[in-house]
């Protein structure tokens, strides 16, 4: 596996892990018990996907020409890389805001992940990645449906819930463009980002329409950089909390 491929797998893993870490902040704080359980179930799925991907990346990092002194593991990749080394999309690291914004972030991300993983599954040139994508898709399907239903429920809900959803879209929309702008290492992966973007837009539009919501038109500025390690200020705080234990007590286990 070449460096581009490793970077690509790491970026998939990082997006899942960072979104999981964000969603995990809801644990014990969900609006109702069942939805608290739902968002943490989704979190667990995302961590599971990240683990599969990190294990796969670690195997290949350890076999590569510039293999590290200490072999990479799923844990070292999650807990011992710095902000600049993380390749997650900016959307994943955005703050939870209110429940509406969390739902929107999940909806935008899961829908993107759904169409991206479809391609990874069908490509078949990399059997491990196809297998991870196939297994993850079963879970992502739940995430898309669950988040779509919530977008509709809140958008087409009360005046207050609609206002919050509109604010959430305004906050998050500028981070959706990056999803379809391939990073250098993605150029080689033979992924058709154009098709993903078209399908993503169709799904987003149909759900937002049903939710009586709209999104900004094409002219809006889109942030990029997450996939190549230039993050918003949010990521540093996430890593500080997530990595604290391993930084303060290297190798600690419990």
Residues lying near other proteins in the complex (CB under 8 A) are found at 34-35, 37-38, 41-42, 44-49, 51-52, 127-128, 130-132, 134-136, 138-139, 141-142, 145-146, 148-149, 152, 207, 210
CB of 205 to other proteins, least distance (A): 14
Residue 66, classified by CB atoms within 10 Å of its CB into exposed (0-12), middle (13-18) or buried (19+), is exposed
CB of 138 to other proteins, least distance (A): 6
Q: What is the DSSP letter of 71?
A: P
Q: How far is the CB of 122 from other proteins (least distance, A)?
A: 14
Q: Which long-range contacts (CB under 8 A, 24 or more apart) does 229-236 make?
A: 229/83, 229/84, 229/85, 229/86, 229/87, 230/84, 231/83, 231/86, 231/88, 231/90, 231/93, 232/90, 232/93, 232/94, 234/93, 234/94, 234/95, 235/18, 235/83, 235/86, 235/88, 235/93, 236/83
For other proteins, the closer of residues 56 and 175 by Cβ is 56
Q: Which residue number, 130 or 171, has a Cβ lying nearer to other proteins?
A: 130
Measured from the CB of residue 37, what is the shortest distance to other proteins in angstroms? 5
**Which CB, 99 or 175, lies closer to other proteins?**
99
Closer residue to other proteins (CB): 131 or 167: 131
- Pick the closer one to other proteins by CB: 36 or 83: 36
Q: How near is the Cβ of 146 to other proteins at its closest, in Å?
A: 6
Closest to 169 measured CA to CA, from 231, 102, 218, 227: 102
User: Phi then psi for 253, rounded to 5 degrees?
Assistant: -130, 150
């Amino acid at each position: 596996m070449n460096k581009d491929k490793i970077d690509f797998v790491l970026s998939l893993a990082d997006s899942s892990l960072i979104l999981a870490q964000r969603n995990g902040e809801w644990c014990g704080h969900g609006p109702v018990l069942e939805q608290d359980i739902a968002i943490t179930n989704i979190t667990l799925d995302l961590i599971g996907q990240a683990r599969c991907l990190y294990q796969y990346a670690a195997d290949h990092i350890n076999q590569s020409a510039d293999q590290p002194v200490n072999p990479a593991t799923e844990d070292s990749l999650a807990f011992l890389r710095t902000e600049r080394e993380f390749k997650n999309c900016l959307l994943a690291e955005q703050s939870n805001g209110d429940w509406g914004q969390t739902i929107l972030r999940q909806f935008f991300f899961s829908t993107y992940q759904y169409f991206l993983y479809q391609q990874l599954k069908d490509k078949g040139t990399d059997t491990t990645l196809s297998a991870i994508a196939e297994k993850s898709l079963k879970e992502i399907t739940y995430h898309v449906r669950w988040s779509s239903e919530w977008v509709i429920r809140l958008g087409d809900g009360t005046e207050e819930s609609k206002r919050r959803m509109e604010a959430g879209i305004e906050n998050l929309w500028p981070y959706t463009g990056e999803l379809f702008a391939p990073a250098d290492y993605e150029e080689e992966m033979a992924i058709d980002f154009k098709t993903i973007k078209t399908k993503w837009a169709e799904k987003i539009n149909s759900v937002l329409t049903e939710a009586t919501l709209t999104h900004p038109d094409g002219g809006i500025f889109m942030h990029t950089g997450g996939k190549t390690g230039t993050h918003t200020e949010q990521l540093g705080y996430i890593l500080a909390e997530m990595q604290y234990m391993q930084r303060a007590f290297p190798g600690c286990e419990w």
